[in-house]
Amino acid sequence: MLSKTMEDALNEQLNKEMYSAYLYMAMSAHSTHIGLPGFANWFMVQYKEEMDHAMKIYRYINDQGGKVKLRAIDEPPSEFEDAMDMFQKTLKHEQFITKSIHELMDLAIQERDHATQIFLQWFVTEQIEEEGNDNEIIAKLELAGKEGNGLFMIDKELAARVYTPPAEAEE
CB of 130 to ligand FEO, least distance (A): 5
Contact, 144 vs 151, CB < 8 A? Answer: yes
Q: Judged by CB, which is closer to ligand FEO: 7, or 50?
A: 50
Question: Which residue's beta carbon is nearest to the bound ligand FEO?
Answer: 53
Q: Judged by CB, which is closer to ligand FEO: 31, or 46?
A: 46
d(CA 24, CA 46): 6
d(CA 94, CA 130): 7
Q: Does 97 bind ligand FEO (CB under 6 A)?
A: yes
**What count of other Cβ atoms lies within 10 Å of the Cβ of residue 76?**
17
Contact, 76 vs 19, CB < 8 A? Answer: yes
Binders of ligand FEO among residues 26 to 55 (CB under 6 A) are 50, 53
Q: Does 134 bind ligand FEO (CB under 6 A)?
A: no
Q: Judged by CB, which is closer to ligand FEO: 62, or 125?
A: 125
**What count of other Cβ atoms lies within 10 Å of the Cβ of residue 34?**
12
Residue ranges that bind ligand FEO, judged by CB under 6 A? 17, 20, 50, 53, 94, 97, 130
